[in-house]
């Protein structure tokens, strides 16, 4: 990975890494989106979605692909892929997969780690689903992520609303044909 020192490692999420993944997921979601929600809604969402028990259950699902990135002893990014679950009429979870989460801590952005993780995701999706479409949901105002996905062949094919408490975020559905 360009821009990284030799302590950067992309690792499978094993049970002993669940607490680090949970903490990283809460932190990266909050730093990216926290300003959009009332504090009580954000807190409830984080506990429901990223509590260690919830993360452990998701990681244990063998249809899911997880990686966590460490810079030395610090977790700085993670990737989650699995069967597509986006609300689009062509999104068939028995035939296609989705990049569900790709988060890089703000201190590590702009160094190529997002590109590296996206490539890893696309490779896993192709290995798992063959030449089926690959899917990503992205916040409508996350222009940096959209630019990354567009540069790798993902195109907007739909939209939906993602609830966090009382707030409904406008999300875009992107698809790539390998």
Q: What is the pLDDT of residues 118-170, one digit of tens each?
A: 999 999 999 999 999 999 999 999 999 999 999 999 999 999 999 999 999 99
Q: Express as a percent the part of the chain with pLDDT over 90.
A: 94
- Sketch the domain layout of the chain as residue ranges: 8-176
The pLDDT value given to residue 143? 94
Q: Express as a percent the part of the chain with pLDDT over 70.
A: 97
Secondary structure (DSSP) of 58-106: HHH-TT-EEEEEEETTEEEEEEEEEE---S-TT--TTT-EEEEEEEE-G
Handedness of CA 133, 137, 142, 145 (dihedral sign): negative
| pLDDT tops 60 at residue 2 | no
Choose the CATH number for 8-176 among 2.40.50.140, 3.40.630.30, 3.40.190.10, 3.20.20.150: 3.40.630.30
Report yes or no: 45 and 165 within 8 Å, Cβ to Cβ: yes
More confident call, 56 vs 7: 56
pTM as predicted: 0.94
**Please, which pLDDT band fits residue 6 given cuts at 50, 70 and 90?**
low
* Distance between CA atoms of residues 41 and 44, nearest Å: 5
| pLDDT tops 50 at residue 1 | no
* Distance between CA atoms of residues 57 and 83, nearest Å: 16
**pLDDT one-digit tens code per residue, 88-119:** 999 999 999 999 999 999 999 998 999 999 99
| pLDDT tops 90 at residue 57 | yes
**In what order do the strands lie in the sheet containing 167-176?**
8-12, 65-71, 74-83, 97-104, 134-139, 167-176, 155-164
Report yes or no: 17 and 11 within 8 Å, Cβ to Cβ: yes
What average pLDDT score do residues 54-62 get? 97
**pLDDT one-digit tens code per residue, 17-56:** 999 999 999 999 999 999 999 999 999 999 999 999 999 9
């Amino acid at each position: 990975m360009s821009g990284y020192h030799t302590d950067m490692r992309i690792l499978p999420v094993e049970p002993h890494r669940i607490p680090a993944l949970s903490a990283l997921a809460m932190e990266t979601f909050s730093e990216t989106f926290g300003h959009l929600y009332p504090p009580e809604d954000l807190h409830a969402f984080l506990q429901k979605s990223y509590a260690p028990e919830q993360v452990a259950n998701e990681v244990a699902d063998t249809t899911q692909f997880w990686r966590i990135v460490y810079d030395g002893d610090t977790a700085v990014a993670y990737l989650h892929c699995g069967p597509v679950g986006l609300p689009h009429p062509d999104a068939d979870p028995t035939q296609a997969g989705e990049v569900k989460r790709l988060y890089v801590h703000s201190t590590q952005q702009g160094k190529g780690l997002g590109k590296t993780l996206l490539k890893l995701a696309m490779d896993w999706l192709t290995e798992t689903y063959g030449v089926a479409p690959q899917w990503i949901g992205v916040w409508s105002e996350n222009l940096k992520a959209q630019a990354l996905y567009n540069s790798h062949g993902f195109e907007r094919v739909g939209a939906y609303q993602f609830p966090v408490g009382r707030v409904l975020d406008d999300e875009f559905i992107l698809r790539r044909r390998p």
